């Protein structure tokens, strides 16, 4: 069995039973009505009180991943020519929280 999520980041080598994973993709609506990935955006991980915890750039395909502790987190996405977007997500050891952020 492949360890990849359909259309998303590979989970090969990650023991999701021991990790709380938050991952996803940043997308922007294109002129043709489709969505396109946003490379080189930044996704910040903020704790329950809004305190900065970590930041990663999106890949060429708009993907990002965090390993977090159990609980509620906020993803703040920053991209050129877009307002910041906040998404609340719950992380839990043993699961993968898949998030799509539309900007």
The answer to the question of residue 10 being in a domain is no
Range of the domain at 34: 20-102
Residue 97 lies in a domain: yes
Within-domain flag for 47: yes
- Report if residue 6 sits inside a domain: no
In a domain, 28, yes or no: yes
Q: How many domains does the chain have?
A: 1
Q: Left if phi > 0, otherwise alpha if psi is -120 to 50, otherwise beta: which for 89? A: beta
Q: Is residue 98 part of a domain?
A: yes
User: Model's pTM, two decimal places?
Assistant: 0.85
Question: Is 61 part of any domain?
Answer: yes
Per-residue pLDDT of the chain (103 residues; tens, 9 = 90+): 333 345 567 777 777 778 899 999 999 988 888 999 999 999 999 999 999 999 999 999 999 999 999 999 999 999 999 999 999 999 999 999 999 999 9
- Return the CATH number at 55: 2.60.40.1120
The answer to whether position 2 is within a domain reads no
Q: What are phi and psi of 101, to 5 degrees?
A: -110, 115
CB contact at 8 A, 51 and 72: no
Given CA atoms 77, 79, 84, 85 in this order, what sign does their dihedral have? Answer: negative
């Amino acid at each position: 069995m492949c360890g990849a999520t359909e259309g998303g980041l590979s989970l090969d080598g990650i023991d999701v039973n021991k990790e709380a994973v938050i991952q996803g993709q940043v997308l922007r609506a294109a002129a043709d009505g489709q969505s396109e990935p946003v490379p080189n955006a930044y996704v910040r991980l903020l704790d329950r009180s809004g305190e900065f915890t970590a930041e990663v750039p999106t890949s060429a395909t708009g993907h990002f991943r965090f390993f977090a502790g159990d609980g509620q987190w906020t993803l703040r996405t920053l991209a050129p020519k877009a307002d910041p977007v906040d998404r609340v997500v719950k992380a839990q050891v043993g699961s993968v929280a898949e998030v799509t952020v539309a900007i």
